Homo-oligomer: A and B are copies of this chain.
């Protein structure tokens, strides 16, 4: 076998195997080149190295290469042209893969995506991110690029500790922050630690994000549902669950929207202290609060009992896969150990860039801009529905990127509306999908979960119009 690094790239040519199979050197080279053209590794038009260079690379006589090129040119695999040397012939294209019609989706295409849980991706600050990446990578020491602490880069942990204290009232320090690959991974790591501590069950809100339920289930924990009312999750019912921890969305219940009341917060922390349990505070959109009463992080009530879990998925982009946990002291080592086993650490370049973005104040400005953008959208949604679909009750809109639309009892059902929407190219979420039946929650009222942050700006008016047309009287 030979590797060939002459024409701007390495090419693997197996001569040794062919020679062992009885071929002479020239025949082995011809055969290997033929196969490489045939299976597309050498694309049509690719310029081959000179016979001298290839002979040198392979440690064979130049003449052998000349003879092989001549033979393959005669066979039509290669083309020899004065001045440009030898190239792969144009007609040597490999067969076309499956046609478009075979791979096309059968459902009507989505024109307007109003599914919840995603930000407006067109807001991602590409230029600012690239500039911060340049500053961060230029300043980073070499060792930052190596294997590092499973907690993540110290630059980002420092920036987050200061930011979370300032913006969310979190009480933490860089040694208690673990950078993870989104809330998904953070929750998975925490569930793993709970299992190690002997827990068999996690208390959850009766409504939540379905993919997170799958993460809990995969860890081997069962779920015990807390019903919701206007004060948020019924944490007064925790005592009966036998759970090792409770997963809450205190700032803005997902998706129903109420903030967890002070009394319920205290009850959850009290329960955790009494049972040696923990509260996991999913602060998925804590930065996007539109009213005049920002709700501080629940973690501040007891940093040794509440894990604060944050993410850049809403404020920047889900594709970054950047999240963070502000951990009680007792959980730092076990969570770090599982993170080490999972993937050693999260990617350092994005961590360094986010640290730079936060440290320079760019992140703050970006979040403010996004908050204004989403607030305007919320106002447009609420106004349009009030005018064109007055039978629909809109809730949970004091914060976040989504709204819950409770449907009138005499209208079409949730499932029917979603089907009609799909037929019209409108993607909508069902409240029932957020409802945790597996955890024994009571049935959901009919409703839709509308992600008003999802469409790009140019599509929002059309999306609103389509939604109102679907829900309205005419």
Contact = CB atoms under 8 A, between A and B. Distances in A.
A383 interface: no
Given A5-B364, A146-B319, A347-B181, A296 B12 contact: yes
A293 B121 CA distance: 48
A166 B9 contact: yes
A349 B319 contact: yes
A342 interface: yes
Contact of A41 (B146, B165, B214): B165
Contacts of A143: 16, 19, 59, 121
* Interface of chain A, main secondary structure: helix
Interface stretch (A126-134, A235-243, A328-336, A408-416): A126-134
A24 B364 contact: no
A67 interface: no
Nearest to A164: B12
A184 interface: yes
Interface residues on A, range: 35 or more
Interface in A82-131: 118, 121-122, 124, 126, 129-130
Contacts of A122: 142
A318 B184 contact: no
Contact of A344 (B5, B126, B137, B184): B184
A347 B344 contact: no
Contacts of A162: 41
B146 A292 contact: no
Interface in A137-157: 137-148, 154
A364 B367 CA distance: 39
Q: Which of A14, A130, A342, A348 has the most CB of B within 10 A?
A: A342
A1 B293 contact: yes
A39 interface: yes
A317 B133 contact: no
A1 B118 CA distance: 27
Contacts of A275: none
Q: Which of A25, A143, A180, A319 has the most CB of B within 10 A?
A: A319
B3 A144 contact: no
Contact of A350 (B11, B20, B350, B361): B350
Contacts of A154: 24
A287 B5 CA distance: 11
A423 interface: no
